[in-house]
Structure 1
Amino acid sequence: MLTIRLSRIGKKKKPTYRLIISEKTKDPYGRALEILGAYNPFTKELTAKKDRIEYWLKNGAGMSPTVNNLLLQKEIIKGDKVTASKTGKNTKEEVIKRLKEENEKRLADIKAKTETEDKKENTEETAEKAK
């Protein structure tokens, strides 16, 4: 399946992106079928070939969620925004709750480990006294 997505170009710490169309399974930094535009995240400037994007979409190409949202924002296409990340952002309460649970589990493991070590020492001491 063909996909319209971003391919990073530019210098270190100064990214710019190309809007490309390529196979979904291919490397985005490899050879693209066509360059459809460019995006500069610092200036939020998007240059795109609207007619070519529409052509590829009519012929069954898909888009990455980020590209979809960029094109919607610049009103090149119409539709709804897509959630870019599959997992939602955790709220502070969720993170704190999860960390507390992990800490409780670790403490329980440590207590169990020390109890088994104490039992081993006690059995060794009683065995030595019995001799």
Structure 2
Amino acid sequence: MIKLRLKRFGKKREVSYRIVATNSTSRRDGLPLEELGFYNPRTNETRLDVPAIVRRLQQGAQPTETVRSILRKAQIFEQLKA
């Protein structure tokens, strides 16, 4: 099963995340299938590759709860229904 999850990177105490599509059995920071975006919780900056995320969701990828909330704020699910 493919999951959309956060991949941690950055320095200690200055963490940021990449939103990636990865196999559900792989490690958190393992090799992703595809990088789909970026999220920085310190500045609340988010950059998303919307067409790629919509494509992955249509293929059946399951987002984690945190990624789901980020996508909900960006209104990705409304684009998926349209």
Tell me the TM-score normalized by structure 1: 0.58
1:43 pairs with 2:77? no
Report the CA distance between 1:43 and its aligned residue. 1.0
Paired residue for 1:24? 24
Where relative contact order (Cα < 8 A, 6+ residues apart) is larger, the structure is 2
CA distance in 2, matches of 1:59, 1:74: 20
Q: How many residues align?
A: 78
More helix by share: 1
> What's the C-alpha RMSD, in Å, of the aligned pairs?
0.8
Name the structure 2 match of 1:58. 58
Letter in 2 for 1:8: R
- The one-letter code of the counterpart of 1:66 is T
Cα distance in 1 between the residues matched to 2:74 and 2:49: 12
Distance in 2 (alpha carbons) for counterparts of 1:46 and 1:24: 23
Max Rg structure? 1
Greater strand proportion = 2
| Percentage of matched positions with identical amino acids | 36
Aligned 1:1-131 pairs, distance under 5 A = 1-78=1-78
* Deviations 1:65-122, CA, capped at 9 Å, x for gaps: 00001110122224xxxxxxxxxxxxxxxxxxxxxxxxxxxxxxxxxxxxxxxxxxxx
CA apart distance, 1:49:
0.5
CA distances 1:42-66 after superposition (whole Å, capped 9, x unpaired)? 1111101000000001011100000
**Unpaired segments ≥5 residues, structure 1:** 79-131
